[in-house]
Structure 1
């Protein structure tokens, strides 16, 4: 029983990762077009890109709400290695957004809600 659940989780995570990567590529492409072709950007092409991103978000939402996808909020994420030193593999896998996974940073990285003092004024 547990093996089946692990296989379902692995399949679901692979599917989610693929959808997120497709979405990330589409968003990066749209940002590049807006930054580089702003003067010549026509509305129909922009709306087509927007529709593509919207469709990809809907596909990701379907994957997350599918019956065979395990409820991910019931899973716990624990770091396997904490180090105050720069981790090149971590930096590469996060595209440079996270370079170290130190003890003092883990609570912020794994937090699901903002601390009250960090919330914008409109949410207080």
Structure 2
């Protein structure tokens, strides 16, 4: 095989690799746009339930706290198995949205930092300020 043919094959492989990368980036951008539409509703759904006083509420608070501060509140995936299907979908949407959005999720909520602190206090059994 001549050097010219080797060079041509390498160029073709590079072109194919670049096309694949660009297609993957386009898919990721499309998914990010979709999540920007459905993510806020999933967040509100989880916040609504988390604000209650049921077993579902505790799991939703923990999922939200994991998105808020994962190192302190690691997500126990078992929580996803014990909540209702619509909450599972909301939680999975929230988790995926958190990987794409340039903002912290609590920033999408009115006074979101205070809300997360309230959930934090509830989960650590501290009195609210």
Q: Assess same fold via TM > 0.5.
A: no
Q: Answer 1 or 2: which has greater helix percent.
A: 2
Higher RCO, Cα 8 Å, sep 6+ = 2
TM-score by length of 2: 0.29
